């Protein structure tokens, strides 16, 4: 515990230095602006992310992606003739803190806020943004009620996101199973103890049936189950073309292992809850062949935009960008697009522009914002090949 | 038919693990009338000792199992000395609540020391071989757990029925004060009971690790509860009853998942507990002896 604390302090000190460096850069660009002779204003953008606390890694990676996007835009001459000035604040992975950080950022006259990352922290920040009519762009908040009020069903006017909501991955996998794997029949074996699993199963079923497929059986397991052979034996008897397992890796890894031990050879698919090194160490390389999962993004994507982004990110930070970095980058990109469409750096006009964004080309796919402020966008399907995660294809809904 | 036979195989190997845990439960209950709710967590500790023996010391699976059994026997004796012995003359409920406390203590001290994430049992510890019997898939680990469970039960039965220690255990179970008068050391006998019961749990833990590939600090809770139901089903306190109860539970769960719906599996398992307590509280093998005076 203590060591962890020390690490956090070290991380904090490094952050302060980085801030100082970023601030230094900002100063320089401002100077060049003055030299150019116009009285260029700055566009203040709040970056309210988790830089410490439980999900610090999500927040700092998204921040890295966002800052990269801002620096690139500034190097290209800024937006609307102005430089973007990022104001970074740490919400400490706490919803209350996210709210007070937002309030402080509003005081600094921001036109938009990037972050926070988790759905809970976005919810903390939401009332402040709504009251002040400033758009919030969430990079990775996947809960459905982030942009839509659960009780009234009304869209929250100033809250946007650039990631798809969780259950949408069910739709993507159903498309992949029906179109790419030519599956006609499928079994859903779902984690019934989480909304995540149930939502995914629902979307998968709907799309798979629309595609002309047939769901031959629905089975369920709960968190911490380790024995799946009874239901798997039953599934083996049904001989489906595809098995959909929406759940987390703790249960899915032994499940796949047992399925292969029982001689089930059908392809098995799942959501991003599968994304863990434990999948390989528990299930083994061989059992994982012919299994697929959906995700927001893959750093192995050969799309030229992604390749360019990965190179720039690596050059600046000397590490591979994960999904959070890519989503943070896209959150800034879509805001810049919105500012260009709006024609001026005004929060309300920016909000209108964001609502009308169509076919925006981001790193994590081409996206259009729908009436619930969710992006309609592509996802990637990742395949396990001899224990390695390999990007299989990109699925456009 | 093939599918049905496969389900029987599945049920027996799941049941063997329940039976092994239930044996320890039922033995401790039989001797001192304490439902040791920490039993599932002792199994977890055994699984971790086995895991570290395999990964850090690089032993083979048999040595790992023996190491885990010895370590947990010692742990069981310590738990009994520290937590249960001071309460031996207080109410049954005090001991029961202490057992829950010990259970939580073991779970969270393990999380504190090793972190909450799961550890992966090395595959090389028990290379899997599959036997294909006319389409029926039987793995060497299926055979391993079923045979170990039966062998351990027979050893336990032998100890209790035919050794001097076993005689002392039965005497203590029947009447502690009379046992003291006959020159039996009650403390020693109870310590041995805990040592054997905990060693059995450790064996079950290592088997669980081999069978399901992962161990984590909270792994003992659900199997512990299921084994408790198995012990009650067979008649708590009766050794062969625990065995039969364990296998019945395994088969029942498998059949419910296989021919009903996997969604109702746990409901049926715990429904059995309610039914047996309503209809025949002494369990399948229990005799209505009436309360001792």
pLDDT digits 0-9 by tens, B180-218: 999 999 999 999 999 999 999 999 999 999 888 889 999
The helix (H) or strand (E) run that includes residue A352 is helix A347-355
Check B137 against A261: CB less than 8 A apart. yes
- Give me the pLDDT at residue A33, please: 38
Residues on B contacting A at a C-beta cutoff of 8 Å: 3, 6-7, 10-11, 14, 118, 120, 123, 128, 130, 132, 137, 139, 208, 212-214, 216, 218-219, 221-222, 253-259, 261-263, 265-266
Residue A353 · residue A338 · CB < 8 Å: yes
- Give me the pLDDT at residue A39, please: 43
Check A221 against B266: CB less than 8 A apart. no
Identify the band that residue A24 occupies on the pLDDT scale cut at 50, 70 and 90.
very low
Q: What is the Cα–Cα distance from A268 to A256, expressed in whole angstroms?
A: 8
Mean confidence (pLDDT) of chain B: 89
Q: What is the Cα–Cα distance from A383 to A294, expressed in whole angstroms?
A: 9
Q: Which of A141-145, A287-291, A341-345, B179-183 has the lowest mean pLDDT?
A: A141-145
Mean confidence (pLDDT) of chain A: 88
A250 touches chain B (CB under 8 A): yes
pLDDT digits 0-9 by tens, B219-256: 999 899 999 999 999 988 888 899 999 999 999 999 99
Q: What is the Cα–Cα distance from A381 to B261, expressed in whole angstroms?
A: 30
Identify the band that residue B289 occupies on the pLDDT scale cut at 50, 70 and 90.
low
- Give me the pLDDT at residue A61, please: 92
Question: Which of A230, A261, A282 comes nearest B130 by C-beta?
Answer: A261
Check B258 against A233: CB less than 8 A apart. yes
pLDDT digits 0-9 by tens, A276-326: 888 888 888 999 999 999 998 888 888 899 999 999 999 999 988 988 999
DSSP classification of residue B90: S
Residue spans of the domains in chain A: they are: 41-164+303-378, 168-295
**Does the domain made of A168-295 have the CATH classification 2.60.120.20?**
no
The distance from CA B233 to its chain's CA centroid, rounded to whole angstroms, is: 14
Q: What is the Cα–Cα distance from A365 to A368, expressed in whole angstroms?
A: 10
Instruction: Write down the CATH number for the domain with range A41-164+303-378.
Output: 3.40.50.2300
Q: For chain B, how are helix, strand and coil distributed in percent, rounded to 5?
A: 75, 5, 20
DSSP A125-165: HHHHHHHHT--EEESS---GGGTB-TTT-PBPTTEEESS--
Dihedral sign for Cα atoms in the order A356, A362, A366, A371: negative
CA dihedral of residues B251, B253, B258, B264 (deg, nearest 10): 160
pLDDT digits 0-9 by tens, B132-153: 777 788 888 889 889 988 898 8
- Give me the pLDDT at residue B203, please: 92
Q: What is the Cα–Cα distance from B126 to B139, expressed in whole angstroms?
A: 11
Q: What is the Cα–Cα distance from B28 to B173, expressed in whole angstroms?
A: 10
The helix (H) or strand (E) run that includes residue A388 is strand A388-395
Question: Which of B11, B123, B214 comes nearest A284 by C-beta?
Answer: B123
Residue A134 · residue A103 · CB < 8 Å: no
- What does the angle CA B121 – CA B123 – CA B125 come to, to the nearest 5 degrees? 85
Check A254 against B214: CB less than 8 A apart. yes
Same fold, A41-164+303-378 and A168-295: yes
Q: What is the Cα–Cα distance from B257 to B251, expressed in whole angstroms?
A: 10
- Give me the pLDDT at residue A36, please: 40
Check A226 against B123: CB less than 8 A apart. no
Residue A122 has pLDDT above 60, yes or no: yes
CB pairs under 8 A between A and B: 74
Residue A31 has pLDDT above 50, yes or no: no
Q: How close is the nearest chain A Cα to the Cα of B256, in Å?
A: 8
A155 touches chain B (CB under 8 A): no
Q: Which of A133-137, A343-347, B113-117 has the lowest mean pLDDT?
A: B113-117
pLDDT digits 0-9 by tens, B7-41: 999 999 999 999 999 998 898 888 888 889 999 99
pLDDT digits 0-9 by tens, A176-198: 999 999 999 999 999 988 888 98
Q: For chain A, how are helix, strand and coil distributed in percent, rounded to 5?
A: 50, 20, 30
Question: Which of B10, B120, B221 comes nearest A233 by C-beta?
Answer: B10
Give the mean model confidence (pLDDT) for residues B262-273: 87
- Beta-carbon contacts of B238 under 8 Å, excluding residues fewer than 6 positions away, are B26, B30, B283, B285, B286
Q: What is the Cα–Cα distance from A397 to A165, expressed in whole angstroms?
A: 13
Angle between helices B265-279 and B239-259 (to 10 degrees): 140
Q: What is the Cα–Cα distance from A277 to A281, expressed in whole angstroms?
A: 7
Contacts of B213 in chain A (CB under 8 A): 253-254, 257, 282
- Give me the pLDDT at residue A17, please: 60
For chain B, count helices (H), then strands (E). 11, 4
Coil/strand/helix, residue A215: strand
DSSP classification of residue B283: -
A221 touches chain B (CB under 8 A): yes
- Tracing tokens 């970056």 back to the chain, one arrives at A47
Beta-bridged to residue A148, according to DSSP, are A155
Give the mean model confidence (pLDDT) for residues A318-346: 93
> To the nearest whole percent, how much of chain B has pLDDT over 70?
98
The two structure tokens encoding residue A22: 């970023």
Dihedral sign for Cα atoms in the order B61, B63, B64, B69: positive
φ and ψ at A395, to 5 degrees?
-110, 120
φ and ψ at B71, to 5 degrees?
-60, -45
Identify the band that residue A37 occupies on the pLDDT scale cut at 50, 70 and 90.
very low
Q: Where are the beta strands (DSSP E) in A112-157?
A: 112-114, 136-138
Residue B184 · residue B25 · CB < 8 Å: no
Contacts of B261 in chain A (CB under 8 A): 219-220
For B222, nearest residue in chain A (alpha carbons): A224
Rounded to whole angstroms, what are the CA distances from B46 to A27, B71, B78, B220?
A: 61, 7, 15, 10
pLDDT digits 0-9 by tens, B27-36: 888 888 888 9
pLDDT digits 0-9 by tens, A213-268: 999 999 999 888 889 999 999 999 999 999 999 998 889 999 999 999 888 999 99
Identify the band that residue A365 occupies on the pLDDT scale cut at 50, 70 and 90.
confident
Q: What is the Cα–Cα distance from B251 to A59, expressed in whole angstroms?
A: 48
């Amino acid at each position: 515990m203590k060591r962890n604390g020390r690490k956090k302090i070290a991380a904090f000190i490094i952050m302060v230095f980085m801030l100082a460096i970023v601030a230094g850069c900002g100063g320089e660009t401002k100077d060049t602006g003055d030299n150019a002779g116009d009285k260029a204003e700055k566009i203040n953008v709040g970056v309210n992310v988790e830089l410490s606390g439980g999900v610090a890694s999500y927040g700092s990676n998204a921040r890295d992606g966002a800052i990269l996007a801002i620096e690139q835009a500034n190097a290209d001459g800024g937006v609307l003739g102005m430089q973007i000035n990022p104001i970074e604040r740490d919400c400490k992975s706490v919803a209350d803190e996210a709210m007070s950080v937002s309030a402080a950022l509003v005081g600094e006259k921001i036109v938009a806020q990037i972050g926070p990352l988790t759905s809970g922290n976005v919810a903390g920040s939401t009332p402040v943004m709504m009251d002040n009519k400033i758009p919030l762009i969430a990079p990775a908040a996947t809960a459905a009620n982030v942009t839509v009020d659960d009780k009234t069903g009304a869209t929250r006017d100033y809250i946007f996101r650039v990631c798809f909501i969780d259950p949408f991955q069910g739709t993507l996998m159903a498309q992949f199973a029906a179109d790419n794997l030519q599956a006609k029949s499928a079994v859903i074996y779902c984690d019934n103890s989480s909304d995540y699993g149930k939502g995914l199963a629902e979307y998968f079923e709907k799309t798979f049936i629309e595609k002309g497929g047939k769901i031959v059986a629905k089975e369920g397991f709960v968190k911490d189950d380790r024995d799946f052979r009874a239901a798997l034996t039953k599934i083996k008897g049904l001989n489906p073309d595809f098995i959909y397992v929406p759940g987390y890796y703790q249960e899915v890894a032994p499940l796949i292992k047992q399925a292969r031990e029982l001689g089930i050879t059908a392809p098995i698919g799942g959501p991003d809850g599968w994304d863990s090194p434990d999948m390989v160490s528990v299930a083994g390389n061989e059992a994982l062949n012919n299994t697929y999962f959906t995700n927001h993004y893959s750093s192995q994507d050969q799309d030229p935009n992604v390749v360019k982004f990965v190179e720039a990110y690596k050059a600046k930070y000397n590490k591979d960008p994960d999904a959070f970095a890519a989503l943070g980058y896209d959150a800034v990109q879509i805001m810049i697009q919105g500012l260009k469409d709006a024609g001026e750096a005004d929060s309300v006009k920016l909000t209108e522009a964001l609502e009308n964004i169509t076919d925006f080309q981001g790193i994590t796919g081409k996206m259009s914002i729908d009436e619930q402020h969710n992006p309609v966008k592509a996802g990637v399907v990742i395949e396990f090949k001899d224990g390695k995660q390999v990007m299989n294809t990109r699925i456009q809904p | 038919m093939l599918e049905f036979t496969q389900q029987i195989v599945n049920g027996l190997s799941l049941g063997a693990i329940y039976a092994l845990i239930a044996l320890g439960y039922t033995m401790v209950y039989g001797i001192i009338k304490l439902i040791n709710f920490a039993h599932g967590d002792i199994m977890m500790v055994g699984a971790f000792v086995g895991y570290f023996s395999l990964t850090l010391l690089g032993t083979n699976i048999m040595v790992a199992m023996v190491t885990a059994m010895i370590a947990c026997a010692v742990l069981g004796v310590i738990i009994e000395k520290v937590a249960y012995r001071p309460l031996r003359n207080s109410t049954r409920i005090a001991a029961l609540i202490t057992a829950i406390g010990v259970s939580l203590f073991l779970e969270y001290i393990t999380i504190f020391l090793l972190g909450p994430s799961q550890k992966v049992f090395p595959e090389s510890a028990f290379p899997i071989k599959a036997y294909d019997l006319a389409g029926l898939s039987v793995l060497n680990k299926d055979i391993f757990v079923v045979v170990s469970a039966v062998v351990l039960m027979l050893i336990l039965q032998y100890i209790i029925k035919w050794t001097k220690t076993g005689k002392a255990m039965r005497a203590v179970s029947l009447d502690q004060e009379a046992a003291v008068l006959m020159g039996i050391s009650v403390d020693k006998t109870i310590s041995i009971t805990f040592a054997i019961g905990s060693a059995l749990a450790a064996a079950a833990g290592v088997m669980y690790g081999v069978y399901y590939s992962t161990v984590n600090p909270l792994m003992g809770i659900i199997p512990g509860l299921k084994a408790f139901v198995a012990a009650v089903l067979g008649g708590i306190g009766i050794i062969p009853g625990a065995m039969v109860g364990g296998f019945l539970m395994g088969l029942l769960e498998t059949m419910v998942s296989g021919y009903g719906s996997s969604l109702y599996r746990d409901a049926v398992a715990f429904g059995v507990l309610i039914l047996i307590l309503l209809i025949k509280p002494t369990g399948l093998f229990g005799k209505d002896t009436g309360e001792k005076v």
